[in-house]
């Protein structure tokens, strides 16, 4: 492993390029000249994402590229930026192990103070199948993927001859009734409405938008009447809002609700479920999914480890009820935390007194699509067009970088005067090795379908039923570590068998094109599959299928 | 397999959505009302790409989304559009087998007349390693990938401490001195020049741009003095133009030229090498990589199969020297061909006389970056700013769709007044199973490096040399179907061995993250690798490493 040469000036290394990380780096830079302090920010993308704009990227109002600002522009020349993925923290040795460059080399980065501002990662394992089949709304790639997925669904709905497929392609389910969920479903509904005229075989009545909320109202972060207003506006536009409803399972073809209803859908967007990043998990201070700090933003028990933003669990002064309170994971708090963090690191370096964190937010706002919004500012409730306009203005103000502000404004203006683009940029790039979940009774394959990959059962059980042309039936149970698809040798292998899940079943799938590539190149693997295929069937039956 | 229901009206199905396909569909629609003729266009992307704009997408002047126009907008409601991948033509049964929808189902599409306008695909197998390591400039995804790759190289160059890595990251090699190659290298050089200020550890002198041209001049499609002018302008901007130079090999770290020189580079852009699509290859009329038609654009010997555009080899009336001539693969010709094709299909349906194809192009133009161009129009040579301006105006005129024209104009204007974005959108998404080429003597892995995957030798031979801590050496030859990386169990497995190619060697690589996923899920595969690892080393040695 290579080691970056140590320098005499203290090295402050910040992991994560969101509001917390970027603003902490800038605040520190303002406190100390470049010769006094080496400040370095490490992130695995070279741009800052303003998350509240993601629903508008997903709906095509804002170009993906316009919604973000390069870190190098935000940080300037006097803060070092490193595009790399942080893999491990060595606390005693005061280094980080990062992967960087073309070959993803492991490089060691030394630090004197380490700031963890890495946010959270999606955590969907609480609902079976959600991890395998839901789209997220965490980063720019997610928003971009959602937009392309929705357009793919429209293209599919326009040409399929199967009513069930069409219904599935045109039902869009968003899980979670917080800011992100409400804005996402509002934007998707707008996008659908505006795109419809290009799809002659799709009518407005066939579209279905469902918002699932576990609690008894939308936007729990805002007063109850604002949640009710948002619900009423969404419902007026034909969006189904299901309160007190949880998801119990998700598959490639439907979601299952806690009242046993199933909704056939090809689009599940999960705006719920935040968990710690693997990096946070690796530290002993990670509790309840966040890094516990003291009131100075230092990791509990540490002297030169700091955390802020969504990754951190930061205590606030106790309220009247003397219950412990913590800083909520919002951009407003992260920005405020960054200023205190910069002060406290500088104070530590200079032997001065640290300050405690406290902050009262100004308010909160949400867009609900169709030029309507809700919000509360300085305790005043706002709804309708005015709230929407203030939401836009406020977000524009929050956006760092004048060029980004200009580009986003222009995108908003162009969207107002031009038709929305239906260009579906991303091809369906399924990873070679993916995972899928089937509920008991679900079909995995039906006779006449294309064998689209190699299926390895991880948990549960599949049943394979082949009926030979002479009527003889062959039944096979496929349990954990057993597989189907061993006979896949050509892209157009059509199955004679019916494959169903006997119980709730998780499988690993290797897609057919990758499997063929593997078989062709890797002879031992090909032999293994050939032998497995021969073992599966009684000899007299094998010739029949 | 599902079959689309046949209708009484004749079905014209067009495969491919470039100039030829789109303009043929529109010309046919103008000749016959919707009730008389079912016209359907099938393409594997839902947008039309204007290829000459791809270099500007690659350099970030034009947003990827703005450079293209959705087919559904170009074709209107009276031409059916199907987003699908055509896998097979059944000539006797008059059907196509296509993959469509979420699960990529195989669907049959019937036709009465089939038009093949599928263009060409990249064919890079003539140079060892080119297929494995070159980026192409064929479609929008390629341009988008190139832009993100170049920005990734800048990010890498800014942080690496190794001079050799930096040199490699900052050397950009474009293969082919035709329109696409000249425009691509001109745009890349502009982009680098404008991005440099964000990368404080990269200086202009460290950048290297090399254009390789097999022939003795650039732009062979234009008069010699224009090629010379283009060369002079490019050289003035520091771009190395190598005439009479061919590539003999490409690897992940360098290209090898026919004068035995090697250029270390991480970026190889191939603008050469067009081959037939798999669909064209499947037809008996495919010769010299194109589909041979008669002068009526009918596939040779067929009555209801047609071809046009780059996919077709269309005879032109013989010139003065009575040598056979063929329509060149340009947009101008494709548009002209589409009109004749529409007339001839309609004439066939109505029993009228077919017309022969003939056309003389108006001229040709190329941008060479930095607001300069070259061209010939109606036999008049143009160079400099005027040629560049005419090139832009002409391309704007050729762009179908008023909204696309507006968006492209706006992108041009914004690029003039705003800084170029350095947002690197796409993460490095290497496919799980990829291929790599190493020249004899090249290092595959050096001691201390991260084991980044599983390497299976396909052709050639690797040598693995491990020195144990006690000084004992272990040598192993790894030949075809043998592999290294069996012991990869954690992302941070660091190798003790030196692995070099003993001869020119092709390998299949499974990246470490996909390998770990496979091992974790698929126990038989894990067992296989574990056993292979144990067999590799003499027992007394195994414990040492």
The pLDDT-based confidence of A3 (bands split at 50, 70, 90) is: very low
Is the dihedral angle over the CA atoms A222, A224, A230, A235 positive or is it negative? positive
> Does residue B6 register a pLDDT over 80?
no
Which site among A166, A521, A532, A533 would you substitute to test the B interface, given the most B Cβ atoms closer than 10 Å to its Cβ?
A: A521
Which site among B79, B102, B529 would you substitute to test the A interface, given the most A Cβ atoms closer than 10 Å to its Cβ?
A: B102
pLDDT tens sequence across B285-324: 999 899 999 999 999 999 999 999 999 999 999 888 888 9
> Does residue A514 register a pLDDT over 90?
no
d(CA B74, CA A426): 20
The region of weakest confidence among A256-270, A284-298, A399-413, B39-53 is: A399-413
Is A65 among the domain residues?
no
B260–A contact, CB cutoff 8 A: no
Residue A356 near residue A296, CB atoms below 8 Å = yes
Which site among A45, A198, A420 would you substitute to test the B interface, given the most B Cβ atoms closer than 10 Å to its Cβ?
A: A198
Task: Compute the average pLDDT of residues B167-188.
Answer: 96
Residues composing chain A: 545
Residues A118 and A137 in one domain: no
> Does residue B1 register a pLDDT over 70?
no
A409–B contact, CB cutoff 8 A: no
Q: How far is B149 from chain A (nearest CA, A)?
A: 10
Residue B169 near residue B83, CB atoms below 8 Å = no
Q: What percent of chain B has pLDDT over 90?
A: 70
A414 contact partners, CB below 8 Å, separation of at least 6: B407, B410
pLDDT tens sequence across A349-371: 999 999 999 998 888 888 888 88
pLDDT tens sequence across B115-149: 999 999 988 999 999 999 999 999 998 999 999 99
Residue B457 near residue B507, CB atoms below 8 Å = yes
pLDDT tens sequence across B327-371: 999 889 999 999 999 999 999 999 999 999 999 888 888 888 888
Do B452 and A103 count as a contact with CB atoms less than 8 A apart?
Answer: yes
The pLDDT-based confidence of A4 (bands split at 50, 70, 90) is: very low
Please list every residue in chain A whose beta carbon sits closer than 8 Å to the beta carbon of residue B425: 47, 64-65, 140, 144
The region of weakest confidence among A130-139, B84-93, B534-543 is: B534-543
Is B281 among the domain residues?
yes
- The pair of structure tokens assigned to A40 is 């370095």
Residues B194 and B98 in one domain: no
Residues B339 and B441 in one domain: no
Q: State the first-to-last Cα distance of chain A, in angstroms, to the nearest integer.
A: 54
Residue B310 near residue B326, CB atoms below 8 Å = no
Task: Compute the average pLDDT of residues A135-145.
Answer: 91
Q: What percent of chain B has pLDDT over 70?
A: 96
Residues B172 and B117 in one domain: no
> Do the bridges between strand B11-15 and strand B38-43 make them parallel or antiparallel, or are there none, so unpaired?
parallel
Is A307 among the domain residues?
yes
A445 contact partners, CB below 8 Å, separation of at least 6: A451, A484, A495, A497, A498, A499
- Which of A393, A417, A441 represents a domain boundary (last residue)? A417
The pLDDT-based confidence of A545 (bands split at 50, 70, 90) is: very low
A88–B contact, CB cutoff 8 A: yes
Give residue B20's domain range: 2-44+84-122+275-350
Please list every residue in chain A whose beta carbon sits closer than 8 Å to the beta carbon of residue B432: 431-433, 514
pLDDT score of A102: 83
Do B70 and A46 count as a contact with CB atoms less than 8 A apart?
Answer: no
ipTM: 0.90
Is B342 among the domain residues?
yes
Is A70 among the domain residues?
no
Residue in the structure block whose two tokens are 């998990």: A281
> Does residue B243 register a pLDDT over 50?
yes
CATH code, domain with B496: 2.60.120.10
d(CA B451, CA B491): 8
pLDDT score of A1: 44
> Do the bridges between strand B262-264 and strand A443-445 make them parallel or antiparallel, or are there none, so unpaired?
unpaired
- Which of B295, B328, B350 represents a domain boundary (last residue)? B350
Do A1 and B421 count as a contact with CB atoms less than 8 A apart?
Answer: no
Q: Which residue of B has its CA nearest to A2?
A: B448
Residues A286 and A400 in one domain: no
Q: Across chain A, how many H-helices and E-strands are there?
A: 15, 37
A47–B contact, CB cutoff 8 A: yes
Residue A83, beta-bridge partner list: A43
Q: Which letter does DSSP use for residue B450 in this model?
A: B
- The pair of structure tokens assigned to B321 is 């020297």
pLDDT score of A163: 96
- Across chain B, mean pLDDT equals 91
Do A508 and B525 count as a contact with CB atoms less than 8 A apart?
Answer: no
Write the burial class of residue B409 (CB in 10 Å: 0-12 exposed, 13-18 middle, 19+ buried).
middle
Do A73 and B433 count as a contact with CB atoms less than 8 A apart?
Answer: no
H helix or E strand, kind and range, residue A35: none
Residues B369 and B265 in one domain: yes
Residue A240, beta-bridge partner list: A210
d(CA A148, CA A136): 13
Residues B391 and B248 in one domain: yes
Residues A456 and A498 in one domain: yes
Q: How far is A198 from chain B (nearest CA, A)?
A: 6
Q: Which residue of A has its CA nearest to B491?
A: A87
Residue B63 near residue A65, CB atoms below 8 Å = yes
Do B97 and A492 count as a contact with CB atoms less than 8 A apart?
Answer: yes
pLDDT score of A540: 62
Residues B445 and B531 in one domain: yes
Facing B87 at nearest CB: one of A4, A491, A521: A491
- Across chain A, mean pLDDT equals 91
pLDDT score of B543: 53
The pLDDT-based confidence of B401 (bands split at 50, 70, 90) is: confident
- The pair of structure tokens assigned to A306 is 């700091």
Is A302 among the domain residues?
yes
CATH code, domain with B223: 3.50.50.100
pLDDT score of B395: 85
pLDDT tens sequence across A196-213: 999 999 999 999 999 999
H helix or E strand, kind and range, residue B319: none
Report CA A309 to chain centroid distance, whole Å: 17
The pLDDT-based confidence of B418 (bands split at 50, 70, 90) is: confident
Q: Highest mean pLDDT: which of A275-279, A533-537, B368-372?
A: A275-279
- The pair of structure tokens assigned to B361 is 């192009």
pLDDT score of B512: 87
- Which of B315, B350, B385 represents a domain boundary (last residue)? B350
Look at residues B81, B77, B73 and name the one whose alpha carbon lies nearest to residue B14: B81
Task: Compute the average pLDDT of residues B508-537.
Answer: 89
DSSP code per residue over B518-545 = HHHH-HHHHHHHHHHHHHHS-HHHHTT-
d(CA A245, CA A260): 10
CATH code, domain with A345: 3.50.50.60
- The pair of structure tokens assigned to A536 is 């599966």
Look at residues B445, B431, B433 and name the one whose alpha carbon lies nearest to residue B253: B445
B409–A contact, CB cutoff 8 A: no
Higher pLDDT, residue B96 or B419: B96
Do B102 and A424 count as a contact with CB atoms less than 8 A apart?
Answer: no
> Does residue B416 register a pLDDT over 70?
yes
Do B423 and A458 count as a contact with CB atoms less than 8 A apart?
Answer: no
> Do the bridges between strand B208-212 and strand B239-242 make them parallel or antiparallel, or are there none, so unpaired?
parallel
pLDDT tens sequence across A6-48: 447 999 999 999 999 999 999 999 999 999 999 999 999 999 9
Task: Compute the average pLDDT of residues A169-197.
Answer: 95
Is B492 among the domain residues?
yes
Number of cross-chain residue pairs from A and B with Cβ atoms under 8 Å apart: 217
Q: Describe the crossing of helices A512-521 and A523-536 by its angle, rounded to 10 degrees.
A: 110
Q: Which letter does DSSP use for residue B197 in this model?
A: G
Residues A315 and A373 in one domain: no
- For B66-70, the CB contacts below 8 A with 24+ separation are B66/A63, B66/B404, B66/B407, B66/B408, B66/B410, B66/B411, B67/B140, B67/B143, B67/B404, B67/B408, B68/A423, B68/B140, B68/B404, B69/A423, B69/B399, B69/B400, B69/B401, B69/B403, B69/B404, B70/A198, B70/A421, B70/A422, B70/A423, B70/B46
Residues 106-145 on A with a CB inside 8 Å of B are: 106, 140-141, 144
Residues A249 and A397 in one domain: yes
A447–B contact, CB cutoff 8 A: no
Is B97 among the domain residues?
yes
Residue in the structure block whose two tokens are 């555009």: B309
Q: How far is A462 from chain B (nearest CA, A)?
A: 16
Helical ranges in B263-330 per DSSP H: 278-281
Residues 48-87 on A with a CB inside 8 Å of B are: 63-66, 68-70, 72-73, 77, 81-84, 87
d(CA B393, CA B386): 10
pLDDT tens sequence across A441-452: 999 998 888 888
pLDDT tens sequence across B467-498: 887 888 889 999 999 999 988 888 778 888 89
Residues B302 and B439 in one domain: no
Look at residues A132, A328, A100 and name the one whose alpha carbon lies nearest to residue A222: A328
Residues 198-257 on B with a CB inside 8 Å of A are: 198-200, 252
- The pair of structure tokens assigned to A378 is 């300085």
The pLDDT-based confidence of B4 (bands split at 50, 70, 90) is: very low
Which site among A7, A13, A17, A46 would you substitute to test the B interface, given the most B Cβ atoms closer than 10 Å to its Cβ?
A: A46
Write the burial class of residue B393 (CB in 10 Å: 0-12 exposed, 13-18 middle, 19+ buried).
exposed
Q: Which residue of A has its CA nearest to B97?
A: A492
A415–B contact, CB cutoff 8 A: no
Q: Which residue of A has its CA nearest to B49?
A: A423
pLDDT tens sequence across B23-79: 999 999 999 999 999 999 999 999 999 888 999 999 999 988 888 999 999 999 999
Please list every residue in chain A whose beta carbon sits closer than 8 Å to the beta carbon of residue B39: none
Please list every residue in chain A whose beta carbon sits closer than 8 Å to the beta carbon of residue B1: 448, 494
Please list every residue in chain B whose beta carbon sits closer than 8 Å to the beta carbon of residue A73: 198, 419, 422
Query: Three-class SS string for A367-413?
Result: EEECCEEEEEECCEEEEHHHHHHHHHHHHHHHCCCHHHHHHHHHHHH
What's the number of domains chain B is made of?
3
Residue in the structure block whose two tokens are 């090399």: B210
Residues 310-349 on B with a CB inside 8 Å of A are: none
């Amino acid at each position: 492993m290579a080691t970056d040469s140590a320098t005499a000036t203290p090295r402050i290394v910040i992991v994560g390029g969101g509001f917390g990380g970027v603003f902490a780096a800038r605040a520190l830079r303002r406190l100390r000249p470049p010769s006094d302090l080496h400040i370095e920010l490490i992130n695995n993308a070279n741009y800052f994402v303003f998350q509240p704009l993601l629903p508008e990227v997903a709906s095509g109002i804002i170009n993906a590229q316009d919604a973000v600002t390069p870190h190098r522009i935000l940080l300037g020349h006097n803060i070092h930026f490193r595009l790399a993925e942080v893999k491990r923290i060595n606390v005693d040795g005061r280094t980080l192990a990062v992967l960087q460059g073309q070959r993803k080399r492991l490089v060691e980065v030394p630090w004197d103070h380490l700031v963890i501002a890495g946010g959270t990662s999606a955590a969907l394992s609480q609902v079976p199948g959600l991890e395998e089949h839901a789209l997220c709304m965490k980063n720019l790639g997610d928003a971009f993927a959602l937009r392309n997925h929705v357009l793919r669904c429209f293209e599919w709905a326009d040409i399929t001859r199967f009513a069930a497929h069409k219904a599935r392609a045109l039902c869009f389910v968003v899980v979670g009734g917080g800011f992100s969920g409400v804005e996402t479903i509002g934007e998707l509904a707008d996008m659908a409405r505006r795109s419809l005229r290009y799809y002659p075989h799709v009518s407005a009545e066939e579209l279905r938008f469902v918002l699932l909320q576990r609690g008894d109202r939308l936007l729990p972060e805002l007063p109850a009447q604002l949640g009710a207003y948002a619900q009423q506006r969404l419902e007026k536009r034909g969006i189904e809002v299901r309160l007190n409803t949880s998801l119990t399972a998700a598959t490639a073809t439907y979601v299952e609700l806690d009242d046993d209803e199933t909704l056939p859908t090809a689009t599940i967007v999960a705006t719920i479920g935040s968990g710690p990043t693997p990096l946070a998990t690796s530290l002993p201070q990670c509790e309840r999914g966040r890094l516990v700090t003291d009131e100075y933003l230092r990791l509990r028990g540490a002297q030169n480890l700091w955390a802020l933003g969504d990754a951190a669990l930061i205590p606030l002064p106790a309220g009247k009820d003397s219950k412990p309170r913590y800083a909520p994971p919002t951009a407003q708090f992260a920005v405020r935390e960054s200023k205190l963090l910069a002060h406290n690191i500088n104070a530590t370096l200079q032997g001065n007194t640290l300050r405690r964190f406290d902050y009262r937010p100004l308010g909160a706002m949400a867009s609900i699509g169709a030029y309507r919004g809700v919000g509360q500012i300085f305790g005043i409730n706002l709804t309708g067009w005015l709230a929407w306009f203030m939401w836009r203005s406020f977000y524009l103000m929050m956006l760092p970088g004048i060029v980004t502000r200009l580009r986003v404004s222009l995108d908003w203006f162009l969207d107002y005067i031009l038709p929305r683009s239906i260009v579906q940029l991303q091809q369906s790039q399924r990873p070679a090795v993916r995972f899928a979940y089937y509920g008991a009774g679900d079909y995995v394959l039906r006779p006449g379908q294309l064998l689209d990959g190699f299926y390895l059962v991880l948990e549960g059980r599949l049943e394979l039923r082949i009926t030979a042309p002479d009527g003889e039936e062959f039944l096979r149970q496929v349990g954990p570590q057993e597989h189907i698809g061993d006979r896949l040798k050509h892209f157009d292998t059509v199955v004679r068998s019916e494959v169903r899940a006997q119980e709730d079943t998780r499988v690993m799938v290797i897609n057919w094109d990758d499997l063929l590539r593997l078989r062709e190149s890797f002879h031992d693997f090909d032999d293994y599959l050939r032998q497995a295929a021969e073992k599966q069937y009684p000899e007299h039956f094998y010739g029949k299928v």
